[in-house]
Structure 1
Amino acid sequence: MRVPLAVTTSARPKPQLRAQAEAASRQWGVPLFMRHPKEGISEWLEERADALLIFGHDGVTLWDREGHHGFHGGMAHLRRLRLATGEPDTFVRVTELRKGDAVLDCTLGLAQDALVASLAVGPQGRVVGVEKSLPLAALAAEGLKRYELGPDSCHIDVVHADAHAYLRTLPARSFDVVVFDPMFAKPRKAQPGFDVLRRFADHAPLTPEALQEARRVTRRWVVVKGARYSDDLKKLGLKPEPSSRHTDVDWGRIGPAEVG
């Protein structure tokens, strides 16, 4: 029977890699496919699994029949370097992140904004990333275990869940900032790996009900990213924050709702 996701290793894995794959299989509740020497994965992707999370000597990689993407810092790595030297970051500016803040990223994806947030809030802060797609949640969680955040950043917790459902389980005012970066209806130019993100991500738009739930949970801001020259933010009653005319995205934000 074909499964949505399975775990395996590179060919001829060392015991440590095999142990990591076994642990991931248990954590995510997916099958473990052990490879024989020189055995490829193309047949598995044709017949046994929609996607494979592969533990290799160079990190963790998500494969499907159309391509693959290994977890890495990407542009977030450069943003973190700039932030550390005092350069501004649009995401940090709009969210008004401070040291010690608690941040809930409701659309974790490849964890780009979460990586920046972990540095912005510092080691005393908290970052939780929610991802509805099991392959993306597993890739981000396993990749983050191997990413060197450094002493100036907090740990990033990954939750595999529907964001709206997860928000309903949280107490009021339990996070300083709640973030949404919904998948844009029209693809836009992006860094490598975004094609993988689009294939696996949840494409459902952010609903007013989920936004209202986020306003119950936040203490300061709910921040939403939208495509420029679209009505993404307008549909939610949000106005774009001032930003560079050269960017193709807008950020909207709204404060907490009254809690009865």
Structure 2
Amino acid sequence: MPPVPLAVTTSTKVDAAQLQEARAVAARWGLPFLPRRAKEGIAPWLGTKVEALLVVGGDGVTLWEPEGSFGFHAGMAHLRLMRLRAGEPDTFVRVAELGAGDSVLDCTLGLAQDALVASLAVGPSGRVVGLEKSLALCAVAGEGLRRYERGADACAVEVVHTDAREYLRTLPSASFDVVFFDPMFAKPKKAQPAFEVLRRFAEHAPLTAETLEEARRVARRWVVVKGARYTDDLRKLGLTPEPLSRFSDVAWGRVAAHAPAKSSS
């Protein structure tokens, strides 16, 4: 039989609570659960029994595949959150003009770095929804966010496993204040092995003008797009990059939402 695309198991140091949690993770994401004997390695499973595994342990949920592994961590978002709480500016927050009570639709959740920043910027009265097409990434981010101590000054990030292009079509016009895209860069810089694993699971389809227009319909204020600094990704979409620091390797663009049609009287 061909290997299962994705399954859930426990770490080697398993107890009753961890076993229960691993089964709950499998149930939340509709994945098979594979029991694991004490000290049984998963290397022989990868590529034969399963293509990839979500391993539930004391440190959270880690995605394993034959070439490596990665798990959820706040990363640079942690530093950005500290700066925001200290009253320092954040480029995403500035470009999107985020404020308390706003609603944000993150169409490319990934590991939720920007979604975490948005959740603090909009506060507990706001709303952040993150869309992720890759089930593996969605599960890692979703489980990581469940365990992350976001603080009482931030809202929870709602995680949805879906194709953003299809999801946008189902939404009424002017559903969110800001719609955000951070497409995977087409020309990656050298990165840590864990990020290379992430890239293999991520959605690589470029943002199209059609999807951007649909996002403008759904947005009330802005559609914000992040791109690589030394590419013309933003200009291809008709976006003018925002002024940025010479030390930044990313570029930001935005386009206004479509004005609602005026009703005739």
* TM-score of the two chains, using structure 2 as the length reference: 0.95
Matched, 1:247 2:248: yes
Matched, 1:156 2:143: no
Structure 1 CA distance, aligned partners of 2:174 and 2:17?
A: 41
* TM-score of the two chains, using structure 1 as the length reference: 0.96
Change over 3 Å in CA distance of 1:26–1:145 after alignment to 2: same
Runs of 4+ in 1 over 4 A off after TM superposition: 189-192
Q: Helix, strand or coil: the match of 1:44?
A: coil
Letter of the 2:20 counterpart: A
Change over 3 Å in CA distance of 1:111–1:46 after alignment to 2: same
Aligned to 2:129: 128
Consecutive unaligned residues in structure 1, runs of 5 or more = none
Aligned residues of 2:60 and 2:143 also touching (Cα < 8 A): no
Structure 2 CA distance, aligned partners of 1:52 and 1:143?
A: 15
Structure 1 residue 72: deviation in Å? 1.2
Change over 3 Å in CA distance of 1:22–1:15 after alignment to 2: same
Structure 1 residue 29: deviation in Å? 1.4
Matched, 1:195 2:166: no
Letter of the 2:51 counterpart: D
Alignment of 1:70-85 (within 5 A): 70-85=71-86
Alignment of 1:172-187 (within 5 A): 172-187=173-188
Aligned residues of 1:7 and 1:52 also touching (Cα < 8 A): yes
Structure 2 CA distance, aligned partners of 1:91 and 1:190?
A: 22
Structure 1 residue 191: deviation in Å? 6.7
Kindly tell me the number of residue pairs found equivalent between the two proteins: 260
Aligned residues of 2:136 and 2:201 also touching (Cα < 8 A): yes
Change over 3 Å in CA distance of 1:78–1:123 after alignment to 2: same
State the percentage of identical aligned residues. 67
Aligned residues of 2:23 and 2:33 also touching (Cα < 8 A): yes
Aligned residues of 2:105 and 2:128 also touching (Cα < 8 A): yes
Structure 1 CA distance, aligned partners of 2:64 and 2:159?
A: 20
Structure 1 residue 195: deviation in Å? 1.8
Q: CA RMSD in A?
A: 1.3
Letter of the 1:228 counterpart: R
Letter of the 2:36 counterpart: R
Matched, 1:56 2:63: no
Letter of the 2:17 counterpart: Q
Aligned residues of 1:117 and 1:127 also touching (Cα < 8 A): yes
Aligned residues of 1:226 and 1:232 also touching (Cα < 8 A): yes
Aligned to 2:12: 11
Structure 2 CA distance, aligned partners of 1:235 and 1:163?
A: 20
Aligned residues of 1:110 and 1:197 also touching (Cα < 8 A): no
Change over 3 Å in CA distance of 1:101–1:193 after alignment to 2: farther
Letter of the 1:99 counterpart: A
